Amino acid sequence: MKPNRVAVIGGGIGGLTAAGVLARKGHAVTLFEATDSLGGKAQTVRADGLVFDTGPTVMTMPDTVRATFAAVGAEASMPRLERLALQTHYRWADGREFLCWEDVERASASAAAVHAADGQRLAAFFAEADTIYRAAGRPYLEAPYETMMGFMARAAKSGLGTLLTGLKLSTLDGLARRHFESAHLRQFVGRFATYAGASPYESSAAFAMIAHIERAFGVHHVIGGLGSLVDGLEAAARRNGVDVVLGQRARHEARGDGFVVGEREFDAVVVNADPLASQAREDEPLTMSGYVAMFDVPARLALPHHTILFSQDYRKEFDELSAGRLSEDLTVHVCHPAATDPTMAPPGRSGLYVMVNVPPMRVGDEGAWAGHARALETRLRAKLATLPGLSGVPLRLVAERTPVDLAKKGAPRGSIYGFLPHGRFGPFRRPAIRGRQRGVFFAGGGTHPGGGVPLVMLSGRFAAELTHAHLGGQA
């Protein structure tokens, strides 16, 4: 029997995953990528011996990553994941620090040093985060979200009490206020909304499940950088017979019972791109964007892998971002991968990935970003100088990424994840994997289940499953 032909448009992690799974199921898959490299936002910059990831730096859910490599027949080529005992070091301008260890007792002792009463409350917060994960997270992640009825049926398996807990969720900030007296620890909780490019004051407390996921499954670093994940998925796709076409911007057009992409005929299409425009929803609010600066430091720093330098007024920061303005006081994420992986920097040097959230671009605002970038770089240098070992140390800017660069990768107006999941049921309004056109499916951070490498891998696997079923479940 002649194999079904599937076009995958976009070679990010979601597209690579979908292509590899579909090819392994026996379909004839062609992957079209507009640029000259695969990986989408998960790119690697190499400069003078330094290695920088330009995409996500926090890796969770290692079993999902392993299952994805198994689904494409590449378990043996999966890069090694190194689990971080100290997940993140949080710092404030008033000198307070919170070391979020994976071990709850150590983390609680550190929280108590920030605010005595909150040390005892940290374990209770993690326990509720676990309940939220079981009530909302696990059923949301275990299958493609198609209808609320299907989700509720999966959620009900955890028991009625757990389901009711999920239905009563407040905002993430409301949850933080219920658990912690200190504004410092409330900021720690609020940060989990930013994993989805959202505000803790407008998004559901369901995002607290990320705290449980980090606690239960660990925070990891990919040895060699995220690029090694992309390389492994690409090698598996090619080994499974995927025809990879680089440097061709492709679109699909319906023709008869199938589609035409790049003058070739296909029976189904997987689109690894943001789906908002295809659903006529491009005018909806978008997630935050980001500015990233990558610095070469002429010293091997003693910094941990992840450091967060919090702003002094978190609500004001998000109010400014929501209004479309650069915040006056920035929360800064610093990733120092050489703390875990010496292959990321030569001896005696460090590479720092430094990111701040910024608003998505306004239409026609691309030209302003040259000036914005220089202003942000100056402010980042001042923030970094407050870290141990960096005062007076010359930092060389190696590369940077702005919303303009994200927009070139297909992100609407440079937003990191496209759809903004604000509101109690925000995550359920995320654009679906199954497109409006019969035979068209979506993969990537803009569709279910959301952003971040493991979730994007899940979207690719779900898109492949739905495509395979659409084609009759047989190649």
- pLDDT, tens digit (0-9, with 9 covering 90-100), for 50-71: 999 987 788 999 999 999 999 9
Average pLDDT over residues 222-239: 94
The tokens describing 399, both together, are: 């590369």
**What percent of the chain stands above pLDDT 90?**
83
Q: How close are the terminal C-alpha atoms of the chain, in Å?
A: 8
Distance CA 158, CA 100 (A): 29
- Per-residue pLDDT band for 475 (boundaries 50, 70, 90) equals very low
Please tell me the distance from the alpha carbon of residue 239 to that of residue 128, in angstroms, as a whole number.
44
Please provide residue 44's backbone torsions phi and psi, each rounded to the nearest 5 degrees. Answer: -125, 130
**pTM score, whole prediction:** 0.95
Q: What is the pLDDT of residues 176-220, one digit of tens each?
A: 999 999 999 999 999 999 999 999 999 999 999 999 999 999 999
pLDDT, tens only, 337-355: 999 999 999 999 999 999 9
* DSSP state letters, 293-343: EEEEESS-----SEEEE--S-HHHHHHHHHTT---SS--EEEE-GGGT-GG
Around 264, how many Cα atoms within 13 Å sit in the side-chain half-sphere? 20
Q: Name which of 423, 349, 461 is nearest 48 in CA terms.
A: 349
**Which residue do the tokens 């109690």 mark?**
424
Q: Please state whether the peptide bond connecting residue 449 to the residue before it is cis, i.e. omega within 30 degrees of 0.
A: yes
Q: How confident is the model at residue 161 (pLDDT cuts 50, 70, 90)?
A: low
Give 41's pLDDT tier (boundaries 50, 70, 90): confident
Cα–Cα distance for residue pair 75/79, rounded to 1 Å: 9
CA Rg value for the chain:
22
Task: Give the helix/strand (H/E) hosting 437.
Answer: none
Q: Which domains does the chain have, with CATH numbers?
A: 5-44+59-80+222-282+419-470 (3.50.50.60), 85-218 (no CATH), 289-414 (no CATH)
Per-residue model confidence as pLDDT tens digits over 303-322: 999 999 999 999 999 999 99
Count of positions (residues) in the chain: 475
